[in-house]
Amino acid sequence: MNTEDVIRTFVEYYEERGHHRISGSTLLPPPGDPVLFTTSGMHPLTPYLEGRPHELGRRLVNVQRCLRTTDLEEVGDPTHLTVFEMLGTWSLGDYEGPQSLDWGYGLLTEGFGVDPGLIHATVFGGDEQVGPDTAAEQMWQRHGVPVERTVEDNWWSNGPTGPCGPDSEIFIWTGDTPPQSTPTRDDRWVEVWNHVMMRHRRLPDGSLVPLPQRNVDTGLGLERLASLLQGKNSVFEGDVFTPWRRRVPGLWDLDEPSLRLVCDHLRSAVVVIGDGVRPGNTGRGYVLRRLVRRALTVLWRDDPSRQLGDLPAELVSHTLDHFRQTTDPDEVRRVLLDEERRFGGLLRRGRQVLARPRFQGTLDEEDLHYLHDTHGLPRELVLSLRPRPEPEISEMS
Ligand code: SER
């Protein structure tokens, strides 16, 4: 089942259950949303979760591209991508959590053919403000699915204030042995789908008030599920990365972690540029700048002659097409090359300045400010150009 088949199966399953497909939004959340980028399918739907009637009704389904910078350091492991797609469903004050979980279980096991014995669930165990989600727990028990209760891991919010609620997460076993342990104790349980009972609003003083309606908001990680259904152990081996895996290793000889990071960051940068962001020193532009510079840092570590100009045009167009973006691929390449030139210039200048006797010792805050204000060298860049201190040899007792 390729990624497009997964999307089709998902959407049709929910359409058969009265959901209307809405088109996904760009990575830029609506005005007033507290996040820089859309990190979940619910962002564009916040007003409707808060009670505004949606013109297409109370049951919705979609595919939404998302970007998570919180996961940046985890990129390269088998499950995290910077830009990914989320398949989402919503009950806007219509059916409740157990119904959503029941359908979710049906789709995974019958629609996608996941072995029921490889599924584990988690549910909210309750805290001093909200009681345990026994309705979700009982639903799982009826299906014979093992359930683990947690507190923080099973509470979803979009930020410190706003719509939030207890959730129930669905995990699939990816180990080579028969399933064992539980999702919080063994990371071979991979989370694929989160069902949030979105029925509270958190106020700035930390208290909770009920939303005008009891919603369910679910999000399923598309690349994760697709790669698992394809029998692959990592999202980087799923079909969306096939063109990258075919072209990049012949171009740049990279070890597996570097290959994953470079493919993830360049692919993400293409999508971000495709949604209209340009590199800058603040906000979204800075996120884009970091993605491109992190990829270049890895590429140049072994061979400073590597160039983004060699990136096959086909990879840019394939990515834009996949995300149905209409930006001209040449414009995307121009932005990438501009940023590469700028970063290359900055590195050269940084090396020259840092070679001066004044900067040979330890750099203090004043030096870092001076390098930034007078020479335009960001702290992060300066620190990356300094030789790493030798690790201290600790006395073993
Ligand atoms: N909002 C929830 C999440 O991001 C479910 O879509 O996990």
Q: Mean pLDDT across the chain, nearest whole number?
A: 93
pLDDT of 245 > 60? The answer is yes
pLDDT tens figures, 287-319: 999 999 999 989 998 898 999 999 999 999 999
What does the alpha-carbon distance between residue 364 and residue 336 come to, in Å, rounded to a whole number? 33
C-alpha of residue 164 to centroid of ligand 1, in Å: 10
pLDDT tens figures, 124-140: 999 999 999 999 999 99
- Cα–Cα nearest to 334, from 270, 252, 262: 270
Choose between 383 and 147: higher pLDDT. Answer: 147
What does the alpha-carbon distance between residue 214 and residue 199 come to, in Å, rounded to a whole number? 5
For residue 111, give the DSSP letter.
I
Atom of ligand 1 nearest to the CA of 198: 1
C-alpha of residue 281 to centroid of ligand 1, in Å: 29
Q: Do the beta carbons of residue 260 and residue 76 sit within 8 Å?
A: yes
Q: Which residues line ligand 1 (CB under 6 A)?
A: 40-42, 88, 156, 194, 196, 217-219
What does the alpha-carbon distance between residue 275 and residue 339 come to, in Å, rounded to a whole number? 17
What does the alpha-carbon distance between residue 58 and residue 22 come to, in Å, rounded to a whole number? 12
What does the alpha-carbon distance between residue 90 and residue 113 come to, in Å, rounded to a whole number? 23
In the three-class reduction of DSSP (H, G, I as helix; E, B as strand; rest coil), residue 9 is classed as helix
C-alpha of residue 268 to centroid of ligand 1, in Å: 20
Mutation pick for ligand 1 pocket among 39, 89, 156, 168 (CB with most ligand atoms within 8 Å): 156
Nearest CA to ligand 1 atom 4: 40
The residue to which tokens 């994760």 are assigned: 224
What does the alpha-carbon distance between residue 378 and residue 362 come to, in Å, rounded to a whole number? 17
DSSP string, 308-362: GGGS-HHHHHHHHHHTT--S-HHHHHHHHHHHHHHHHHHHHHHHHHHTSGGGSS-
pLDDT of 393 > 50? The answer is no
The ranges assigned to domains in the chain are 3-236, 242-385
C-alpha of residue 155 to centroid of ligand 1, in Å: 10
Identify the band that residue 33 occupies on the pLDDT scale cut at 50, 70 and 90: confident
| CB atoms near residue 356 (< 10 Å) | 8
C-alpha of residue 42 to centroid of ligand 1, in Å: 7
What does the alpha-carbon distance between residue 6 and residue 111 come to, in Å, rounded to a whole number? 9
Q: Which of 43-47, 84-88, 266-270, 330-334 is predicted least confidently?
A: 43-47
Q: Do the beta carbons of residue 272 and residue 319 sit within 8 Å?
A: no
| CB atoms near residue 201 (< 10 Å) | 19
pLDDT of 157 > 60? The answer is yes
pTM: 0.90
Choose between 273 and 360: higher pLDDT. Answer: 273
In the three-class reduction of DSSP (H, G, I as helix; E, B as strand; rest coil), residue 250 is classed as helix
Q: Which residues contact 205 (CB under 8 A, 6 or more apart)?
A: none
Atom of ligand 1 nearest to the CA of 42: 1
What does the alpha-carbon distance between residue 339 and residue 39 come to, in Å, rounded to a whole number? 25
Q: What is the mean predicted confidence (pLDDT) over 349-359? A: 91
Q: What sections of the chain are H helices per DSSP? A: 3-15, 46-49, 97-106, 134-142, 222-229, 242-251, 256-274, 283-302, 313-322, 329-354, 365-375, 379-385
C-alpha of residue 128 to centroid of ligand 1, in Å: 23
pLDDT given for residue 139 in this prediction: 98
C-alpha of residue 196 to centroid of ligand 1, in Å: 7
Nearest CA to ligand 1 atom 2: 219
- Cα–Cα nearest to 108, from 216, 234, 242, 218: 218
Q: Do the beta carbons of residue 186 and residue 66 sit within 8 Å?
A: no
pLDDT tens figures, 99-110: 999 999 999 999
Q: Which of 53-57, 294-298, 371-375 is predicted least confidently?
A: 371-375
Q: Do the beta carbons of residue 276 and residue 335 sit within 8 Å?
A: no
88 - beta bridge partners? 62, 219
pLDDT given for residue 32 in this prediction: 78
pLDDT given for residue 394 in this prediction: 42
- Cα–Cα nearest to 110, from 9, 17, 178, 230: 9
The residue type of 379 is: R
Percent of the chain residues past pLDDT 70, beyond the cut: 97
CATH of the structural domain 3-236, one choice from 1.10.8.620, 3.30.930.10, 2.40.30.10, 3.40.50.720:
3.30.930.10
What does the alpha-carbon distance between residue 67 and residue 36 come to, in Å, rounded to a whole number? 9
21 - beta bridge partners? 61
pLDDT of 73 > 80? The answer is no
Atom of ligand 1 nearest to the CA of 39: 4
Mutation pick for ligand 1 pocket among 43, 168, 196, 220 (CB with most ligand atoms within 8 Å): 196
What does the alpha-carbon distance between residue 329 and residue 320 come to, in Å, rounded to a whole number? 8
In the three-class reduction of DSSP (H, G, I as helix; E, B as strand; rest coil), residue 209 is classed as strand
pLDDT of 381 > 70? The answer is yes
